[in-house]
């Protein structure tokens, strides 16, 4: 759950972060694009329409009207001038008016009305914009020299008559116009073309009412610049066309500008998304490639080589800490290490069990073969010449055969018992018993056994009941195994003491004798009878599985058994069972 939450959080915040990055880049690109497009549009249509933008962006600071420096710079570059006139007629702001000392510093009503009607101020062409953004209205006046208009007015004065070009002046004017690639048209009040003189390659053949105004206000969207002069007396309008540059078309519609830039923006966003995708694939895919290598080596059983030296350098730093890019899979990598350790231990345990099983089978075969060889030998002897044996010899043979058979039956019974104990959950019947009574009765049975008269048994324990959850049959078998082993492996007159007391929340049974004791090797393999095979010199009294069965019974009850012994100093067996 921990890694699931972290991975969900990790991918969620990264998705949000990258989405915000892409959206931010897109917005910034769009803002830059539209600002650039607006700036280019303003420059193309300058000075028409620029006054509205200047008026909208103007603001007051510390009681003084402020205009962005970029506009002032652009006005100066174009060789124009700007004045802002207050409601009282005073000029409150000006740009590039120093070279023009003839410009007034205040205007009367008559002057302002004349400028609005004629769109001229002395030798300057003028555009005005009235703005109501502040408490009092302001008038923005933009003036500039227009050589084409001056030329047109001069030709009108020199060659005009009744609003048209005199016939005798047409050849001369036509020559002058063709030298510059220019063209002159004269149209009547009904927009009909009366005259056309000069190079008319880019000139329209007919006009709609708004065409002239559109060309004047957005000249860069058309093939040529125009200036017009209208004769009030005749109603005729002279239109003077001048090419942009050597007759080259300068059309630049909005879509022709927008489309390639949008393609560039889309390409940049796609490139960014592709880069992020490749980075994500590299970051999150590389650990999966490492995992695949780990699985392959684990499948071959190379648990000690799960991570190669190269893999370790990719996952860990030199100081042993995990690299930041791999911390997302920290639990997975740790689980891999734990799993490989467990598998390595399991493999070692499997080999150990196989070896123990082989030793076990070897011991079983040996223990069964020895009495069977005796039985088989006596059988051959009885089969061949039974009349040659005396009654005493036959009795000894019969007794030996019976003892060997009893030993084999006990050995097989103990094998069956060991197998049953491994299935303790299904065969054990736990109930509440008094351990004091059970241990006391077990010791008393050996005390009252006449065959055990050479051994001394003592019981030391509590008088009050000690209740535990246990299977009576198995615990009785446990005490019989411990006491019979103490008798079998010690000399007569040995003292065997059984004590019972409580240690914290556990019942403690101790079986102590002062017999021969055991060496370290025997003590180490005490609970594994067939670790080294059976000693053929040992007596066949008992199967030799007593301590192995005892350990299995104790562990089936959730307890623990410990043995302390030294050669010549006796043996102490300590059993702890939960109360």
Give per-residue pLDDT as tens, 32-43.
777 666 666 665
Q: Are 456 and 496 in contact (CB under 8 A)?
A: yes
Bridge pairing between strands 495-503 and 456-461:
parallel
Contacts of 54 (CB under 8 A, 6+ apart): 67, 71, 82, 129, 140
Q: What pLDDT does 250 receive?
A: 33
The ranges of the chain annotated as CATH 1.10.287.130 are 320-422
Alpha-carbon span 191 to 348, nearest angstrom: 107
Query: Would you give the DSSP letter of residue 509?
Result: E
Please compute the mean of the pLDDT values over residues 541-564 and round it to a whole number: 79
- Counting residues of the chain whose pLDDT is more than 70, the rounded percentage is 76
Query: At residue 551, does pLDDT exceed 90?
Result: no
**What is the maximal distance between C-alpha atoms in the chain?**
177
Q: What is the pLDDT of residues 362-396, one digit of tens each?
A: 766 766 777 788 888 888 877 776 677 778 888 88
Domain 425-578 CATH (choose: 3.40.720.10, 3.30.56.10, 3.30.460.80, 3.30.565.10): 3.30.565.10
Q: Provide the mean pLDDT of the chain.
A: 78
Q: Which residues of 297-327 are buried (b: 16+ CB within 10 A; e: fewer)?
A: bbeeeebeebbeeebeeebeeeeeeeeeebe
**At residue 6, does pLDDT exceed 80?**
no
Name the range with the highest mean pLDDT among 203-217, 274-288, 472-486.
472-486
Give the burial class of 329: count Cβ atoms within 10 A of its Cβ; 0-12 exposed, 13-18 middle, 19 or more buried: buried
Contacts of 449 (CB under 8 A, 6+ apart): none
Q: What CATH class is the domain 50-145? A: alpha beta
The Cβ of residue 51 has, within 10 Å, a number of other Cβ atoms equal to 20
Q: What is the pLDDT of residue 538?
A: 43
> Which of 481, 470, 483, 473 lies closest to 577, judged by CA?
470
Burial of 373 (0-12, 13-18, 19+ CB in 10 A): exposed
Summarize pLDDT for 294-313 with one digit per residue, the tens.
777 777 777 666 666 777 77
- Between CA 216 and CA 201 the distance in angstroms is 18
Instruction: Answer whether residue 255 shows pLDDT above 60.
Output: no
pLDDT score, position 11: 63
SS (HEC) of 6-75: HHHHHHHHHHHHHHHHHHHHHHHHHHHHHHHHHHHHHHHCCCCCHHHHHHHHCEEECCEEECCHHHHHHH
Q: Mean of the pLDDT values across residues 55-73? A: 86
pLDDT at 19 over 90: no
pLDDT at residue 83 in the model: 92
169: its two tokens:
């002046």
Stretch 77-88: mean pLDDT: 89
Q: Which residues of 486-515 are buried (b: 16+ CB within 10 A; e: fewer)?
A: bbebbeeebebbbbbeeeeebbbbbbbbbb
326-330, 515-519, 557-561: which has the minimum mean pLDDT? 326-330
Strand partners, 159: none
Q: Which H or E run includes 354?
A: helix 330-384
* Class of domain 148-252 as given by CATH: alpha beta
Intervals of CATH 3.30.450 along the chain: 50-145, 148-252
CA distances, 366 to each of 125, 369, 540 (Å): 128, 5, 12
At residue 2, the pLDDT reads 57
> Cα dihedral angle (550, 552, 557, 560), rounded to 10 degrees?
70
Residue among 43, 38, 45 at smallest CA distance from 214: 45
Instruction: Please state, in angstroms and rounded to a whole number, the distance separating the CA atoms of residues 104 and 109.
Output: 13
Among residues 218, 214, 209, 217, the alpha carbon closest in space to that of 237 is found at 209
Res. 292: pLDDT tops 60: yes
Contact 513, 497 (CB under 8 A): yes
Evaluate if residue 213 carries a pLDDT over 60: yes
- Out of 3.40.309.10, 3.40.190.10, 1.10.287.130, 3.30.43.10, which CATH number does the structure's domain 320-422 have? 1.10.287.130
More confident residue, 447 or 3: 447
Exposed/middle/buried for 239, CB within 10 Å: 0-12, 13-18, 19+? buried
Q: For strand 91-95 and strand 467-470, is the pairing parallel, antiparallel, or unpaired?
A: unpaired
User: Does the pLDDT of residue 498 top 90, yes or no?
Assistant: yes
Q: Please determine, for residue 187, whether its predicted confidence score (pLDDT) is greater than 50.
A: yes
pLDDT category at 13 given cuts 50, 70, 90 is low
If one counts every other C-beta atom within 10 angstroms of the C-beta of residue 520, the result is 10
Total residue length of the chain: 579
- Given the DSSP bridges, would you call strands 124-131 and 120-121 parallel, antiparallel or unpaired? antiparallel
Residues of the chain with CATH 3.30.565.10: 425-578
Peptide bond into 47 cis (omega under 30): yes
Bridge-partner residues for 398, per DSSP?
none
- Checking if the pLDDT of 254 tops 60, the result is no
């Amino acid at each position: 759950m921990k890694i699931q939450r972290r991975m969900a959080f990790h991918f969620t915040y990264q998705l949000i972060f990258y989405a915000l990055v892409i959206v931010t880049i897109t917005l910034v690109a769009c803002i830059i694009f539209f600002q650039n497009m607006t700036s280019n549009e303003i420059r193309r249509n300058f000075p028409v329409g620029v006054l509205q933008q200047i008026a909208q962006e103007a603001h007051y600071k510390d009681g003084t009207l402020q205009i962005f420096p970029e506009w002032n710079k652009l006005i100066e570059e174009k060789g124009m001038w700007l004045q802002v006139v207050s409601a009282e007629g005073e000029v409150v702001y000006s740009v590039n008016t120093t070279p023009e000392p003839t410009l007034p510093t205040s205007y009367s009503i008559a002057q302002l009305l004349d400028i609005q009607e004629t769109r001229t101020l002395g030798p300057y062409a003028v555009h005005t914009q009235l703005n109501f953004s502040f408490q009092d209205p302001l008038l923005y006046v933009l003036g500039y020299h227009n050589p084409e208009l001056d030329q047109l007015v001069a030709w009108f004065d020199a060659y005009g008559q009744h609003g048209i070009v005199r016939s005798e002046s047409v050849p001369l004017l036509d020559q002058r116009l063709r030298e510059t690639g220019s063209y002159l048209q004269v149209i009547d009040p009904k927009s009909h073309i009366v005259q056309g003189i000069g190079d008319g390659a880019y000139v329209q053949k007919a006009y709609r009412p708004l065409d002239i105004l559109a060309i004047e206000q957005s000249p860069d969207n058309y093939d040529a610049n125009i200036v017009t002069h209208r004769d009030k007396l005749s109603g005729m309008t002279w239109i003077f066309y001048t090419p942009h540059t050597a007759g080259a078309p300068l059309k630049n519609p909005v879509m022709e500008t927008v489309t390639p830039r949008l393609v560039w923006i889309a390409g940049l966003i796609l490139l960014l998304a592709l880069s992020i995708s490749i980075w994500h694939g590299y970051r999150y895919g590389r650990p999966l490639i490492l995992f695949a290598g780990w699985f392959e080596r684990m499948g071959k059983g190379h648990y000690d080589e799960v991570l190669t030296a190269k893999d370790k350098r990719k996952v860990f730093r030199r100081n042993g800490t995990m690299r930041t890019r791999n911390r997302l899979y920290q639990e997975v990598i740790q689980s891999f290490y734990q799993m490989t350790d467990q598998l390595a231990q399991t493999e070692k345990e499997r080999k150990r069990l196989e070896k123990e099983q082989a030793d076990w089978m070897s011991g079983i075969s040996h223990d069964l073969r020895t009495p069977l060889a005796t039985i088989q030998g006596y059988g051959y002897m009885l089969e061949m010449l039974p009349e040659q044996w005396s009654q005493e010899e036959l009795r000894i043979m019969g007794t030996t055969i019976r003892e060997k058979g009893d030993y084999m039956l006990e050995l097989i019974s103990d094998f069956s018992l060991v197998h049953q104990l491994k299935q303790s959950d299904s065969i054990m019947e736990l109930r509440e018993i008094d351990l004091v009574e059970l241990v006391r009765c077990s010791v008393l049975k050996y005390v009252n056994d006449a065959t055990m008269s050479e051994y001394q048994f003592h019981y030391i324990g509590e008088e009050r009941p000690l209740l535990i959850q246990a299977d009576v049959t198995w615990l009785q078998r446990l005490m019989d195994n411990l006491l019979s082993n103490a008798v079998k492996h010690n000399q007569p007159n040995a003292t065997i003491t059984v004590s019972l007391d409580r240690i914290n929340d556990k019942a403690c049974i101790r079986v102590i004798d002062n017999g021969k004791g055991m060496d370290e090797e025997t003590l180490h393999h005490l609970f594994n009878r067939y670790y080294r095979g059976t000693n053929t010199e040992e007596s066949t009294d008992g199967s030799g599985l007593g301590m192995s069965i005892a350990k299995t019974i104790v562990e089936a009850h959730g307890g623990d058994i410990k043995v302390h012994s030294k050669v010549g100093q006796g043996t102490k067996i300590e059993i702890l069972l939960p109360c």
